[in-house]
Amino acid sequence: MSTLQEAVSRRRTFAIISHPDAGKTTLTEKLLLFGGAIQMAGAVKARGEQRRAHSDWMKVERERGISVASSVMTFDYAGCTFNLLDTPGHEDFSEDTYRVLTAVDSAVMVIDAAKGIEEQTRKLFEVCRLRDVPIMTFVNKLDREGSEPFDLLDEIEQTLALDVTPASWPIGMGKGFLGCYDLWKDQLILMERSKGGMPGLGEPCSGLDDPMLDSQLPSMAVEKLREDVEMARALCKPFDPQSYLEGHLTPVFFGSAVNNFGVRELLQGLAEQAPRPRPQPAQERAIEPTEEKVTGVIFKIQANMDPKHRDRIAFMRLASGHFKRGMKLKHVRSGKLVNMHNPVMFLAQDRELAEEAFPGDIIGVPNHGNLAIGDALTEGEDLHFTGIPRFAPELLQKVRPKDPLKAKHLGRALVQLAEEGAARVFKPRMGADWIVGVVGALQFEVMADRIRTEYDVPVIFENTTLLTARWVESDDAAALKKFLDANQASLADDHEEQPVFLARNAWHLDRAQEDYPGIRFLKTRG
Ligand code: G4P
């Protein structure tokens, strides 16, 4: 096998989806701990707090206790290299989250045993389903009283219309939680009740009838375990790797992240079963990861990650080839060559220069705004990757600087934030104020905070009476011109100077569509 093939077969690029508070941060930290990427529990939180303490622009995050910025964490385990892409948890940031989910090959769904499937989990699951992303489920907080395992399995199956199969089975719950029986490896793993302690490696059994179980567990617990597993095996489908890979079946692990419990089995499951990098769809063809030539797609932009450096990082997922630092890649949209002399990898604690990377890996490309979401970088081929979702803004507000002399600065800030994908911005053809369009209301606050701290322009957002924004286009240039000339008062231009129709209400939009049948009113723009 070539180096490239070997590296591809070892890559696992995934994200964790969950509802806030289910335990995503805790599980992330424990995965890094098992992967040897951090030395002690608490490091992820501590890092978060340190960052929060030092950087002003994350004020909103601090105030709301939510994670605005996403990042990438890379670690090794069981011979595999894992890339864990963090997804911001709050529903208002779903746009960014959705884009992150286009860059992973599989997902882990974390569920709080006491709460079951919650709203945000369901929404994120639907995004995964759209792309047939395979999902492993981790039922967390077994050390607390929660729903019965059968009820949880049933809820997942019913709510998500997804086949379920237990990969482990919990023994007891809450104060009486003793551990799990690993159904894949036939072993007993007992829970140790100390927060920092790692659970043992598990006692191999010959099966559920092994008398070893009787010697290790109270008799009532063994009896219940045997009954439960027998019933689970009768009720649930057996694990079928193909069905999992196609996104029809989810294996379910039970555990307690804060107690490190169940984490190793989940990681092992990912190493053994989760998909290696998948072919990436492009308009021209599907790009196989093992193709020799390097190609990649930008799925996320983050500006000013380090306020001291005012940098902007484009996150590129490598689709194919063996990337080496110093390569020159073609930026397909502009036709220009980009010198990749300082790409960064996101290791658990620090950013480091990426000397090399393989398909499935994420590298950060520092740039000054020339790279945009959806852009392709290649060794020359003109490729256009597909599948990065774009969203029509559902909420529109006017924005103006508190100091009218700063209008120009505000304009520049808005264009940059729009390029980053943080929001849509529109400059009305009549009137002085910009219009900002977002998917979730909290994005206005984040924008205001960032414009103030990163660009030094305090701003005021105000409600508008606008309902929606539609990009307008037509195959008939004369018809388009006629429409644009007649509707100046309802037109704006986006940050790339594309015309947009701002509708006051549903009637206004319907009317325009009826009056100008040759014009397409698009919710999104490619
Ligand atoms: P999130 O990223 O999904 O929002 O969840 P996070 O990991 O921050 O966990 C939310 C809360 O649940 C935290 O408690 C965390 O300690 C707790 N938690 C996570 N895993 C487990 C578990 O296996 N069992 C129990 N009992 N609790 C768990 P917190 O009180 O908000 O924070 P902290 O002060 O305990 O850190």
Q: Calculate ∠ Cα 402-406-409, nearest 5°.
A: 125
Give me the pLDDT at residue 191, please: 85
Which pLDDT band, with edges at 50, 70 and 90, does 20 fall under?
A: confident
Residue with CA closest to ligand 1 atom 26:
141
The string of DSSP letters for 58-126 reads GHHHHHHT------EEEEEETTEEEEEEP---SGGGHHHHHHHHTT-SEEEEEEETTTBS-HHHHHHHH
Q: Is 143 annotated as a binding residue?
A: yes
Residue with CA closest to ligand 1 atom 11:
21
User: Where do the CATH 3.40.50.300 domains begin and end in the chain?
Assistant: 11-70+106-273, 280-378
Give me the pLDDT at residue 63, please: 42
- Nearest atom within ligand 1 for CA of residue 255: 23
Q: What is the mean pLDDT of residues 16-38?
A: 87
- pTM (two decimals): 0.81
Residue 209 three-state SS: coil
Taking the CA atoms of 127, 132, 133 and 138 in sequence, report the sign of the dihedral they define: positive
Q: Is 87 annotated as a binding residue?
A: yes
Residue 272 CB coordination number (10 Å):
12
Q: Is 352 in the pocket of ligand 1 (CB under 6 A)?
A: no
Whether the predicted pLDDT of 66 surpasses 90: no
The rounded Å distance from CA 22 to ligand 1 centre is 7
Best mutation site among 16, 25, 26, 112 for ligand 1, i.e. most ligand atoms within 8 A of its Cβ?
Answer: 26
- Nearest atom within ligand 1 for CA of residue 110: 3
Class of domain 280-378 (CATH, top level)? alpha beta
What fold is seen in the domain 11-70+106-273? Answer: Rossmann fold (3.40.50)
Q: Is 141 annotated as a binding residue?
A: yes
Whether the predicted pLDDT of 277 surpasses 80: yes
Give me the pLDDT at residue 163, please: 97
Q: Is 140 in the pocket of ligand 1 (CB under 6 A)?
A: yes
Whether the predicted pLDDT of 24 surpasses 60: yes
Give me the pLDDT at residue 419, please: 83
Cα(348)–Cα(328) distance, integer angstroms: 27
Question: Which ranges of 256-335 does DSSP label H, i.e. alpha helix?
Answer: 263-273
ipTM value > 0.90: yes
Q: Is 495 annotated as a binding residue?
A: no
Q: Is 331 in the pocket of ligand 1 (CB under 6 A)?
A: no
Query: Which CATH code for domain 390-525?
Result: 3.30.70.3280
Q: Is 87 in the pocket of ligand 1 (CB under 6 A)?
A: no
User: Where do the CATH 3.30.70.3280 domains begin and end in the chain?
Assistant: 390-525
Q: Is 308 annotated as a binding residue?
A: no
Q: Is 124 in the pocket of ligand 1 (CB under 6 A)?
A: no
Bridge partners (DSSP) of residue 141 are none
Q: Is 112 annotated as a binding residue?
A: no
Q: What is the mean pLDDT of residues 360-376?
A: 87
Q: Say what percent of the chain tops pLDDT 90.
A: 62
